[in-house]
Structure 1
């Protein structure tokens, strides 16, 4: 029972991550879970498409209830385990909550408008300065143009950072340094769940007094 619950807990975590990436119902997801040893034959067909992680949580709850009826778990233990199961389901739910970010698209639009306006204003200012100072030499003109180009480039880079931030906020799951380290976190949680399924291997040796 402990080993089966541990495998199902790992399966819930993996399904939650795959669901957040939009590939929980794909054949690639099934092959990946089978390759990891988390999915046995016939279990994939029993899951509800679109809510496979919730289906596995229901399986865990059923196993825990049967363990209580068989006297393997006390009422207090069942209450604690069901509370942990609820937290596990809440974790996968949080991964799949789509953040309401309509302002992100508006930020991108305003940034692009501001960039066009700023670059246009900078070019017109350079033309006006050139027209108002016909005696400006070639060296001064080149230096003034370089300074304006540097300022404009700095402005473009700053606002481009806002556009990149909007893209990260829309899909924070990836392999870039600015993304959430979900894979590392879930690998750590998978190892922890595996340890819980076999606690005897992680208990210290008893010493005789």
Structure 2
């Protein structure tokens, strides 16, 4: 896998882990200290952890600025019939209509901004809530994996003189990790992908014959069914106690439930009509803002002429427009940034680190490391 580029260079208050996995060795944010969090400089210093993690987040706002400047120039030379440029009388006589237009747009901007802000607040809350729900489900899945490993390692007896039994223990431990990895790949939309097969085979998590035997589109469920079938067979052979099977079956069912819901769209996705409406309102608000500034700047340009570029208020207003547009749009862009927390970005779930720990636990416990030492 090609290692994605990252701007995550500063570690002030950040706990970073770099483990090799499906996407290669990439930095992941484990946690951070709230008192040391980057605020003003975050989009520049730790860009990959912010909403401004791609150039595409900035370019539309530069285009919007260009639109406002072009509108300023066009209106300056065509919408003021009286007077000359630079005379300082832009709003006198026949030019009063432009100033009335600027005042009307200013009032409309205030009214519209109030409506959008009200709707956007609920949208952001729902977006963050969905992100939190999906990470919580992943954490529960990790707990279910750990719990099932413990149950299998303790209910199935350890007999190192019985190589066949030890092989079955190792296989069950590997299958639990395989189901875990496939569940994560399903959330990434790559469960049936060739690169997933190559990754799992290279890490000896799956055998070629096992991959071919899985049900495409439901590979994780297939592996979970194998675990259940193997436990039933062990119980019939007298290896597994009959009273242990219901408990293991319950844990297997719980694992399947969590594995299937990481990116559950049926109950977690926001309504499309709602998302599109909020996006429309945000973009209309940005258009009104840029148009209003274009009209206002045209009045300034008509009054100052080429001396407009010597006015500090113009450059400050230009900067404020870009920053305001980016900030407002960023609240809506959160839905893209936080939609799927299982990708290759530094801000996504640090699955490589967690998977490494669970894999080590499964291997050691199924080898018999779970057996308590005898009292001395």
Displacement, 1:202? 5.2
Whole-angstrom distance in 2 between the partners of 1:169 and 1:202? 39
Output one character per residue of 1:99-126: Cα deviation in whole Å (capped at 9) or x when no partner: 4232334333332222121111122123
Task: List alignment gaps of at least 5 residues for structure 1.
Answer: none
Is 1:39 matched with 2:210? no
SS of equivalent residue, structure 1 residue 75: coil
Residues 184 and 342 of structure 2 are in contact (CA less than 8 Å); yes or no, is this contact kept in structure 1?
no
1:48 Cα deviation from its structure 2 partner: 0.9
Aligned to 1:146: 315
2:218 to 48, 51, 64: 51
Counterparts in 2 of 1:135 and 1:175: CA distance versus 1, 3 Å: closer
The question of whether the paired residues in 1 share the 8 Å contact of 2:343 and 2:349 is answered with: yes
User: For residue 121 of structure 1, what is the aligned residue in structure 2?
Assistant: 292
Q: CA deviation at 1:17?
A: 1.5
Q: Which moved more, 1:46-55 or 1:182-191?
A: 182-191
Pair 1:135–1:112, CA change in 2 (3 A): closer
The equivalences for 1:94-173 within 5 A come to: 94-98=261-265, 99-101=268-270, 102=272, 103-129=274-300, 134=303, 138=307, 142-173=311-342
State the shift of 1:130 in Å: 5.4
Bigger mean CA deviation after superposition, 56-65 or 170-179: 170-179
SS of 2:192's partner is coil
8 A Cα contact 2:342 2:349, kept in partner? yes
In 2, Cα distance between equivalents of 1:159 and 1:185: 35
Deviations 1:42-87 (A, max 9, x none): 2122111111111111110011111111222223321221122112
- Residue in 2 aligned with 1:19? 186
Name the CA distance, whole Å, in 2 between partners of 1:135 and 1:142. Answer: 9
Q: In 2, distance between residues paired with 1:16 and 1:165?
A: 25
Partner of 1:92: 259
The aligned counterpart of 1:201 is 369
Q: 1:112 to 1:181 in 2, by over 3 A?
A: farther
Cα distance in 1, alignment partners of residues 347 and 282 from structure 2: 21
C-alpha distance 184-78 of structure 1, shift in aligned 2 (>3 A): same
User: Residues 108 and 166 of structure 1 are in contact (CA less than 8 Å); yes or no, is this contact kept in structure 2?
Assistant: no
Find the aligned partners of 2:177 and 2:325 in 1 and give their Cα distance. 45
- Looking at secondary structure, tell me which structure has more strand per residue: 2
TM-score under structure 1 normalisation?
Answer: 0.83
Paired residues, what number? 205
- Kept in 2: contact 1:168–1:178 (CA 8 A): no
> Structure 2 unaligned runs (5+)?
1-167
Does the CA contact (< 8 Å) of 2:201 and 2:207 recur in 1? yes
Equivalent residue, structure 2, for 1:61: 228
How many Å apart are 1:147 and its aligned residue?
A: 2.0
Q: Secondary structure at the match of 2:354?
A: helix
Kindly indicate which of the two structures has a greater share of residues assigned to helix.
1
Q: Any idea what the Cα deviations from partners look like across 1:139-184, whole Å, max 9, x if unmatched?
A: 7962111121122122122123224312123333223233233333
Shift of 1:137: 10
RMSD of aligned Cα (Å) = 2.6
Matched, 1:191 2:360: yes
